[in-house]
Amino acid sequence: MLFTPDSIVKARRALFVQMEAGTLTRERAFQQALELDPFDVVALIVLGQERYAAGDLAGAAEYSWRAASADPCRHEPWFKLCGCLPGESQEFRNGLMELGALKALRDPEGLEQFKETFKDKPMAAEFADGEEFLETTADVFHASRRDEPEDVSERLRPYRLIDDLLETAEDGLNGDLVDGILEDGARCGPLLIGVLRAMATGTLPVGHPAPIVCSLALLGEIGDPAVLPELIECYPVEEQVIQAAAHWALKRVASRRPGESFEAIRKLAPGADAEGRYDLALAVSFVPDQSGKRDFLLSLLDGLAGFPKSHRHELFMSVALALEYSEGAKGRELAWSLLSRHSAVLPKRTRAALRDAFKVHHEMDLAASDGKPPEATVYDLCGRAWDEDEEDEEDQDDDDNSFDDDEDADEEDDQDDDFIPEPMHRGVTLGRNDPCWCGSGKKYKKCHLESDEKSRPGPPSPDETPKEGAHLGSNAEESELRKRLIEFATSALRKRELEEALRTFVGSEPPAGADDETFSMETVDWLIHDCVPPRLEHPIIQEFLKRSPGGLTMRQRQTLEAWSRARYSIFEVQEVRQGSGVRLKDLLVGGELFVYDRNTAKRAALWDCYLARVEEFDNRHVFTAAVMTIPQPLVAPLKEWAIGAQQRSGLSWDDFLRANSHKMRQEASRLINRGADSTRVVSFEGDELVFSRARYAVQDEDAVRHALDQSKSFEPDEDRAGYGWLNETEDATGGRRAFGHVHIAGGELTLECSTRQRLERGKALLQFLAGDQLRHLDDDFTSWQSAMRDRTPSTDPPKGSRLPPEVERELVQKVLEEHYRKWPDTPLMALDGRTPREAMATPEGRAQVVDLLKSLQNGEEHKRGDGLAWYDVSKLKAALGIGS
């Protein structure tokens, strides 16, 4: 209860009369007042003073704590607590004194009382007045927090959070403060209601609604249906911005816990007057469809004739509009029938008013087809800055989107640091007549119902073959969900947090094994699943689930939970099923699984090894993002590193892999870089070989060709399709070194070079020769390792070869057959000079031979896939007695 009903006001007056007459003691009078209202702050403060005067420090402390929670704006309980808790540490009492001083500074009446008390104190001579003393006290004790024990900070945390809200609400709460209150919602909730109570009793020290709006928004986000009575009490408040915040908060609670919310509202109906029933009708309209909702709305009209005439019209209109909001056309039809039933007790204007209201709502639905901003979040409501000269009568809508028209936030990094946007999301379970989840303002049935039903996946058939690229994200709804999650991941972190996260993932060495685009995909995948920002203390995907509890369908929530369970590990290909996927063995955790991925199956070969994340949903496994291929010679050292690190950590494999997936990626880069150093491929200038390409749109092809023809650096091809970019001077052999090639066709010019450095020089040269006729489109780069791995087989013989390809493959095949026929009895350095057949005599040697054959077979399988001559390694296995 926020606003004191007349019955309690009269009872308090009667108690005061008895106390003045001497028939009730002061303490007994206020005890009875507390029985009327257990949150009567004045009664709590007075009873605390009475107990303190009687020497009952424990009793005084109990009443003071209750007063501090009932109204967090009052300073008296905090100063009283300092004298009631002699057994507490000095640090704890310092914290109490700081809170008392801060609250007294914000309360003009309290400040005057303190000054009056302070002026006769000996220390008054050291300060200009009591206000200066309070400010100094607050500053000193605030500074002492640095050395404060952790248990003291924890006990005072909710009170300090709410005091920070009162102090900074006018300028907008920062994200850390909002997060802190939400994380400690169980303890902060009663204090937030205390702020609302301060508004109702007139003790709120500020003259604008910011603390109330923030408190309402936070209560809505905490989501406890027990606060609904207080939220509904804020509906009649004159300030429209407070009404809108109360509507938003109730809608937020109801969307997350609809059943409990409906019951909480229904319990308020008995004994409610006409005005109370208005508010209940509006409140229940925000609750998603519940059994008995219509009956409850109809029950609010029971006894309509018994209410004053001035209230009947408003009550009927509130019920009628709630029916329309809840049931659409059916609700309107029911409203008209109710009008006929109750027409005898309603004024004539009700019919015209109902018709006009329905007409206005219809026009609003049509206007909303152009779209409207997404629903405000708790960060929007709490982060709003309030101008000192802002008028209470500002032009705002009554609904929960009143905050969407605020001025655009400053785009400077400093201010953006404390804002965490929440993605637009759907309702829990939308009815046909509910507003659509997309924010268009249309009803769901007229907007996204049909498309949602078409995109909603049915249960997969056990023997269904997935389509190309089929995985969790192939469905339109799940693709959109993944997009929302990625957008949330990159926006939920502040700039410095994101930079720190990227440094953590990349590590100290340059990343290897993937091009820039693929590595970016790996980074985002880690950021979503495994990165734990210190401020959040859990991965981003869990934060997304936490922030969108009422904005996800059951299917979306199940999908997100499946993604959150995805397993990151080293996987080895055991079988390739073309057109379907690959069967993998987890080399760290153990076990096998089949991953549906036709693209991987196209390029995979037996014994390929991947560093990847696999998720399971609807009894199917898929890769979450980029798959990193680990070269066979590097698999053993990477596996050895992981096993050693896991054993040293003392964590289970699941916990270890989640906490160290980025370190595994770094170790893979380190191994690749170390292996690549010995086979580094460079250009004549000593630059690393990276196949580089720049694309341009051509404005005037003839002008570009003319410019290149005039340059000594470009030599036209015989067919004039392109130009070779050559060194202008000849070398000792009389030739000119080639730097790159230009191709012109279809309105585009492409410059291709073998290093990044040459590409930049070539781009500068093209800009100089024909820059006014060219518009740069993009650049892309491919490492020589990737180019070799992704090479496509050619049906033509190598340059300079005069043999037909089929003859050449036959000759190579014979050479391979002869080489591997002798292989089992050939001494090998990899086996310490032993032959494979000799090594098979010991368990250690046998394991070495098996690994060698895996590597051989993997390479030969890739040759076969490329259409090249290859050797069937199963013959070697048979010769050595190794099963397939």
Per-residue pLDDT, 749: 93
pLDDT digits (tens, 9 = 90+) for 587-622: 999 889 999 888 888 888 888 999 999 988 777 888
Per-residue pLDDT, 191: 94
In this model, does residue 417 exceed pLDDT 90? no
In this model, does residue 575 exceed pLDDT 80? yes
Own/partner contacts of 723-727, CB < 8 Å, gap of 24 or more, are 725/751, 725/753, 725/762, 725/765
Per-residue pLDDT, 762: 92
Per-residue pLDDT, 117: 52
Annotate 834-877 with DSSP letters as a single string.
--HHHHTTSHHHHHHHHHHHHHHHHHHHHHHHTT-----THHHH
Per-residue pLDDT, 192: 94
Cβ atoms of 589 and 653 within 8 Å: the answer is yes
pLDDT digits (tens, 9 = 90+) for 166-222: 988 888 888 889 999 999 999 999 999 999 998 888 888 766 788 999 999 999 999
Most confident segment among 406-410, 467-471, 663-667, 805-809: 663-667
pLDDT digits (tens, 9 = 90+) for 777-817: 999 887 765 654 444 444 344 444 445 566 666 766 777 77
Contacts of residue 445, defined as CB under 8 A and 6 or more positions apart, other chains included, come to 328, 432, 433
Per-residue pLDDT, 261: 92
pLDDT band at residue 635 using 50, 70 and 90 as cut-offs: confident
Q: What is the mean pLDDT of residues 625-646?
A: 85
pLDDT digits (tens, 9 = 90+) for 232-262: 988 888 788 898 899 999 999 999 899 999 9
Give kind and range of the element (H or E) at residue 782: strand 774-783
In this model, does residue 675 exceed pLDDT 90? no
Per-residue pLDDT, 433: 53
SS (H, E, C) 346-405: CCCHHHHHHHHHHHHHHHHHHHHHHCCCCCCCHHHHHHCCCCCCCCCCCCCCCCCCHHHH
Cβ atoms of 283 and 250 within 8 Å: the answer is yes
In this model, does residue 375 exceed pLDDT 80? no
Own/partner contacts of 390-398, CB < 8 Å, gap of 24 or more, are 390/208, 392/208, 392/209, 392/238, 392/239, 394/240, 394/241, 396/240, 396/241, 396/244, 397/240, 397/244, 398/240, 398/243, 398/244, 398/247
Mean pLDDT rounded to a whole number for the chain? 78
Q: What is the mean pLDDT of residues 433-443?
A: 49
Per-residue pLDDT, 878: 84
Per-residue pLDDT, 424: 31
Per-residue pLDDT, 787: 54
Q: What is the mean pLDDT of residues 340-361?
A: 86
Q: What is the mean pLDDT of residues 580-588?
A: 91
pLDDT digits (tens, 9 = 90+) for 33-80: 999 999 999 999 999 999 999 999 999 999 999 999 999 988 889 888
In this model, does residue 124 exceed pLDDT 50? no
pLDDT digits (tens, 9 = 90+) for 204-219: 876 678 899 999 999 9
